Amino acid sequence: MKMTVYHVDRVVRDLYVLRVDDLSTKYFEGLWEIPEGITYNSYVLTLPDKVVLFDGWKRDYAEEFLEALERIIDINDIDIIVVHHMEPDHTGSLTMLLSKMNKQPMIYGHPMARSMLSSFYGLNNIKFVPTRDKMEIDLRDERILFIHTPWLHWPETIVTLLKERGVLLTCDVFGSYSIPRKLFDTVLSEDEIRKYLIYARKYMVTVIGSYRSHVIPAIKKLDELGIKPSIIAPAHGLIWKQNLDIIINAYEDFAQSKYDEHKVTIIYTSMYGFVEEIIDTIKDSLEKHGLTIKTHRFTDKERPMISEILTDVDTSKAVIIGISNYEASIHPRMESVLNILIKKIKARKPTLIITVYGWGDAAKALVKKKLENTPLSPINTISVKAGSKLQQNIIEEFLGKIISA
């Protein structure tokens, strides 16, 4: 039997959070390995004469979502549903909720959300209210301000400010992977927060990596609107009540692709150990220079997580890539890693490429072409015949370049 863990708690006054802990999603978006899990946070505001629901959970948890809602309200009391973002990790439970209600709530969302609600879920006869950017609604005990934040994470994404309560509901923005021990930052230790931020960066890079240029403008926009929330309540992970700056700064660092000056990530394929042998000699030199190395290898024994590779590259100063020639091309595992890296990495990473071959190096030209004019465009691409050694001066030359860069 499925045992679902969820939490219902008060955030402030009459605002509640409903959080479900999802440990069954192994590959978020069918792609990102998350053994640490993820949460979906929905919020309910229970004003004396209006009940407002913000977002929902993934469809897998729709039944439990209704159960959780019933712990605070009668679902038929919901007057307004705010859809911040159409991605089904937040809207998947909507159809079941609406089908169980005996009235039609107003659904507020970005203008684009209307046709998506119709096509995703067949919701055509709904009372939909398109939000305009900076539109405000007055519910007597609370004024809700809608702010459009396109591309965080889809084009139709909005955030809302509960003006009286000082709560900024941010959906994906300021969210993270993992299942924090508690709902709020106030009860976690510094060490727990530090570990949480590693998952947060992984979430940012994997989910919003391609659109990171939209983060700073969105934060600026909130600043210019004079928005200084006392609580940040995202739809994944921790709710920030105390140290809001920590998560805002983490998002700013990510937006600017901030990295660790001493970190180098090595990624390689090795079918029978030839590439590995070469990489091991490079590692010795890197360590002598006091660099921190993160290694990810695809071998007959290991298959690293793409989500971790991407996070490590994003937070590294430089990258070293070892490639096995495979049927006159780049080893297919590396081909797919490179495809993801060039999609998500946005800052220049000095890269050293080593291609290893048995009878003729086809991978070298292919990888050069693939990476040219990308942030990973190689400083040097070296071809080595299986069993031969890499010349030490090539490593030293690369090291010199990354240390002085």
Ligand X SMILES: Cc1cc2nc3c(=O)[nH]c(=O)nc-3n(C[C@H](O)[C@H](O)[C@H](O)COP(=O)(O)O)c2cc1C
Least gap, CB of 172 to Fe ion (angstroms): 4
Q: State the binding partner of 22 from ligand X, Fe ion, none, CB within 5 to 8 A by kind.
A: none
Rounded CA Rg of the chain: 24
Query: Between 269 and 311, whose beta carbon lies closer to ligand X?
Result: 269
Classified as helix, coil or strand, 102 is coil
Calpha distance 40→34 (Å, rounded): 14
Min separation Cβ 384 and ligand X, Å? 8
CA-to-CA dists, residue 313 to 206, 226, 259, 281, 285, angstroms: 12, 35, 9, 21, 19
Query: Which residue lies nearer to ligand X by CB, 227 or 386?
Result: 386
Please tell me whether residue 172 binds Fe ion under the rule CB under 5 A: yes
We find the least distance from the C-beta atom of residue 154 to Fe ion, in angstroms, to be: 6
The nearest distance, CB 320 to ligand X, in angstroms, is 14
Q: Which stretch binds Fe ion (CB under 5 A): 5-13, 50-58, 172-180, 356-364?
A: 172-180
Please give the Cα distance from 5 to 20 (Å, whole number).
6
Site for Fe ion in 320-359 (CB under 5 A): none
Least gap, CB of 270 to ligand X (angstroms): 3
Nearest distance from C-beta of residue 115 to ligand X, angstroms: 47
Query: Binds 172, which of Fe ion, ligand X, none (CB < 5 to 8 A, cut-off by type)?
Result: Fe ion
* CA 146-38-241 angle, 5° bins: 50
Spatial neighbors of 105 by CB under 8 A, at least 6 apart, are 53, 78, 79, 80, 81, 98, 127
Task: Pick one of 84, 153, 202, 296: the residue that binds Fe ion (CB under 5 A).
Answer: 153
In the complex with ligand X, the residue whose CB is nearer, 34 or 356, is: 356
- In the DSSP assignment, the letter for residue 217 is H
Residue 153 binding result from Fe ion, ligand X, none, given CB thresholds of 5 to 8 Å by partner type: Fe ion
Mapping DSSP to helix (H, G, I), strand (E, B) and coil, where does residue 367 land?
helix
Q: Where are the beta strands (DSSP E) in 277-377?
A: 292-298, 318-326, 329-330, 351-357
3-state secondary structure (DSSP) of residue 224: helix
Q: Which does 357 bind (CB under 5 to 8 A by kind): ligand X, Fe ion, none?
A: ligand X
Verify binding: residue 89, Fe ion, rule CB under 5 A: yes
Classify strands 318-326 and 167-171 as parallel, antiparallel or unpaired: unpaired
Q: Is residue 84 close enough to count as binding Fe ion by CB under 5 A?
A: no
Based on CB atoms, which residue is closest to ligand X, 123 or 394?
Answer: 394
386 binds, among Fe ion, ligand X, none (CB under 5 to 8 A by kind): ligand X
Size of the site for Fe ion (CB under 5 A): 4
| Binding residues vs ligand X (CB under 6 A) | 269-276, 324-328, 356-361, 386
- In 3-state terms, what secondary structure has residue 374? coil
Quote the least distance from Cβ 336 to ligand X, whole Å.
16
Which of ligand X, Fe ion, none interacts with 87 (beta carbon under 5 to 8 A by kind)? Fe ion
CA separation for the pair 268, 65 (Å, rounded): 43
Helix (H) or strand (E) holding 299: none
- Dihedral over Cα of 251, 255, 259, 265: its sign: positive
Q: Tell me if 22 contacts Fe ion by CB under 5 A.
A: no
Q: Which does 271 bind (CB under 5 to 8 A by kind): ligand X, Fe ion, none?
A: ligand X
Cα–Cα distances in angstroms (integers) from residue 195 to residues 7, 162, 179, 208, in the given order: 22, 30, 12, 20
Nearest distance from C-beta of residue 282 to ligand X, angstroms: 14
Binding mask 236-265 for Fe ion (x = CB under 5 A): ------------------------------
* SS3 category, 180: coil
Choose the one of Fe ion, ligand X, none that binds residue 60, judging by a C-beta under 5 to 8 angstroms depending on kind. none
Instruction: Answer yes or no whether residue 58 interacts with Fe ion by CB under 5 A.
Output: no
Give the shortest CB-206-to-Fe ion separation in angstroms.
11
Q: Is-contact 324 384, C-beta < 8 A?
A: no
Task: List contacts with Fe ion (CB under 5 A).
Answer: 87, 89, 153, 172
